[in-house]
């Protein structure tokens, strides 16, 4: 280019300098914008990386344009390395990759947001995770469709739901096996829900009821309503658990007995009850069986009392026969022996007489028995005797009471025969005490004492021979004191006794 003069050249240079300055200014603006864009992208990436969800943007082919750290970690890579690639390039199985691509292409074709349940494979653990993905298509700056995917990991939630479902199923199995009718009372609304068993036990249908406590109340007997609702109120206050046996009337008019129990399972901040749940069991058969057993037991007790009564009567007949025989014997010694037999038979009859009037037909109070036997022996053998009787309440079995009664009879009879003191007074002391595992029976008199010539273990006296035999049978120990009068102390274990019949 040829310039005509110097001024023209200078003007052109000035114009070019101004254009260059403008270009430099424009470049600075573009660089600043590029820097801001990078910074914005970094901020966006940081924000995306903070999300707990998988977030990606895919192009019209289904390849990644953007991804956050969560999905990159799932695929064992970085967000930058995912750009331009697809799921099949990472840990997704071929089946998963094909599904992801076909799914997003289909959604972009319709341009409608969709929610998809899908799975993906963790690159590190190989674990298959479940996701609930929101997929929103949009048009990019190039005019081509793109899609935003936000996938929330629902694996743990699904597993928890499965566990809850399995737990509920097991509960339903248990309730079905046990025959429990379940009720669930929302105290805030008054609504009550029941399981199928509740309806079937009462012969009701859900459509026949209004879903309130009126359904329960209509099944109750009038004379039990106040008791039942008082128990429910006490449970709501927290005073005691709800646990009650009561009757319920079925749809067909039948009345069943149920064991009903429940508890408050939810309370408000102020402690007010919000929800109460419980169940009942039809125990009609158990109640009938219990009543039948109670009736049979009553009949057996009546029969057993009659047996004791007849045994007592028969022993009294034997005692009376022996007494009549004694009256016809003129010799004093045979008469005395017969009267001693009368006393022995009477001591056995007294056991059955006491059992006849007792509530517990397997035990008698030996302390009370001892007082009665001592009183009767005193009246018949030595009306002038002075007795001191100290007894504790000691229940003993019939098998133990009969031999103990015979031993007491022999020891008291012996004291009445040989226990007079030098002043002629006859004083006898009887004591029955109970230790932790044994009974102690003591009979003592104020007489001259048992002679040293008398060997208890070898005596041929019928009374002492009988005492020795009975002591062995009940596995007891007999201690004898010979000074200051005679004293016999019997130590009897209260464990199981052998059958001496």
- What pLDDT is stored for residue 500 in this prediction? 38
Question: From edge to edge, which strands make up the β-sheet containing 477-481?
Answer: 386-391, 427-434, 438-445, 487-493, 477-481
With a cut of 70, list the residues of the chain below it in pLDDT.
1-5, 9, 34, 37-47, 171, 174-178, 296-326, 328-330, 332, 335-361, 495-501
Q: What pLDDT score was predicted for residue 187?
A: 92
Q: Which residue pairs from 181-186 have beta carbons closer than 8 angstroms and sit at least 24 positions apart in sequence?
A: 181/258, 181/279, 181/280, 181/281, 181/282, 182/277, 182/278, 182/279, 183/216, 183/262, 183/277, 183/278, 183/279, 183/280, 184/275, 184/277, 185/213, 185/262, 185/275, 185/276, 185/277, 186/274, 186/275
Given this model, what pLDDT does residue 499 score? 43
User: Is residue 46 packed enough to be buried (19+ CB in 10 Å), middle (13-18) or exposed (0-12)?
Assistant: exposed
The tokens of 276 are what? 């109460």
How large is the C-alpha radius of gyration of the chain? 51
pLDDT value at position 496? 53
Q: Which CATH number fits domain 171-282: 3.40.50.2300, 3.50.50.60, 3.30.450.20, 1.10.10.10?
A: 3.30.450.20
Predicted pLDDT at 359: 59
pLDDT digits (tens, 9 = 90+) for 142-185: 999 999 999 999 999 889 888 888 877 876 776 666 678 889 99
Check if CATH label 3.30.70.1520 holds for domain 375-501.
no
CB–CB of 151/131 below 8 Å?
Answer: yes
What was the pLDDT predicted at 353?
A: 62
Q: What 8-state DSSP symbol labels residue 77?
A: S
| Residue-level pLDDT at 307 | 55
Query: What are the tens digits of pLDDT across the range 194-251?
Result: 888 889 899 999 888 888 999 999 999 999 999 999 999 999 998 888 999 999 999 9
Q: What CATH number should be reported for the domain whose range is 51-153?
A: 3.30.450.20
* b/e code 163-179 from CB counts within 10 Å (16+ = b): eeeeeeeeeeeebeeee
């Amino acid at each position: 280019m040829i310039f005509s003069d110097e001024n023209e050249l200078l003007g052109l240079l000035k114009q070019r300098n101004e254009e260059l300055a403008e270009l430099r200014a424009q470049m600075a603006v573009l660089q600043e914008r590029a820097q801001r864009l990078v910074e914005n992208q970094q901020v966006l990436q940081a924000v995306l990386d903070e999300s707990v969800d998988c977030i990606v943007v895919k192009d019209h082919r289904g390849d990644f344009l953007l991804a956050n750290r969560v999905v990159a970690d799932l695929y064992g890579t970085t967000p930058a390395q995912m750009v331009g690639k697809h799921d099949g390039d990472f840990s997704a199985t071929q089946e998963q990759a094909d599904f992801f691509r076909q799914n997003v292409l289909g959604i972009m074709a319709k341009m409608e947001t969709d929610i998809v349940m899908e799975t993906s494979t963790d690159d590190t653990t190989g674990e298959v995770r479940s996701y609930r993905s929101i997929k929103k298509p949009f048009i990019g700056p190039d005019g081509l469709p793109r899609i935003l995917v936000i996938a929330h990991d629902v694996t743990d939630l699904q597993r928890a739901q499965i566990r809850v479902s399995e737990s509920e199923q097991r509960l339903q199995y248990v309730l079905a096996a046990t025959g429990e009718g379940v009720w669930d009372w929302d105290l805030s609304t008054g609504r009550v829900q029941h399981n199928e068993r509740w309806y079937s036990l009462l012969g009701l249908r859900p459509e026949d009821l209004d879903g309130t406590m009126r359904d329960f109340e209509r099944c109750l007997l009038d004379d039990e309503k106040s008791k039942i609702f008082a128990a429910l109120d006490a449970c709501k206050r927290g005073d005691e658990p709800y646990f009650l046996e009561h009757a319920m009337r079925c749809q067909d008019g039948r009345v069943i007995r149920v064991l009903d129990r429940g508890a408050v399972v939810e309370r408000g901040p102020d402690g007010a009850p919000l929800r109460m749940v419980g169940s009942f069991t039809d125990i009609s058969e158990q109640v009938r069986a219990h009543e039948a057993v109670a009736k049979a037991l009553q009949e057996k007790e009546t029969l057993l009392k009659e047996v004791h009564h007849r045994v007592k009567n028969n022993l009294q007949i034997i005692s009376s026969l022996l007494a009549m025989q004694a009256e016809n014997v003129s010799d004093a010694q045979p008469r005395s022996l017969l009267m001693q037999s009368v006393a022995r038979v009477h001591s056995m009859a007294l056991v059955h007489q006491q059992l006849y009037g007792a509530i517990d037909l397997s035990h008698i109070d030996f302390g009370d028995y001892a007082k009665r036997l001592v009183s009767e022996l005193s009246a018949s053998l030595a009306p002038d005797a002075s007795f001191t009787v100290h007894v504790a309440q000691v229940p003993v079995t019939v098998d133990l009471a009969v031999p103990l009664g015979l031993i007491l009879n022999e020891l008291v009879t012996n004291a009445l025969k040989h226990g007079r003191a030098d002043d002629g007074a006859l004083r006898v002391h009887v004591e029955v005490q109970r230790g932790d595992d044994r009974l102690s029976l003591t009979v003592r008199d104020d007489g001259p004492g048992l002679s040293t010539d008398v060997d208890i273990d070898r005596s041929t006296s019928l009374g002492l021979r009988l005492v020795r035999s009975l002591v062995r049978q009940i596995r007891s120990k007999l201690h004898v004191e010979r000074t200051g009068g005679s004293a016999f102390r019997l130590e009897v274990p209260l464990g199981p006794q052998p059958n001496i019949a």
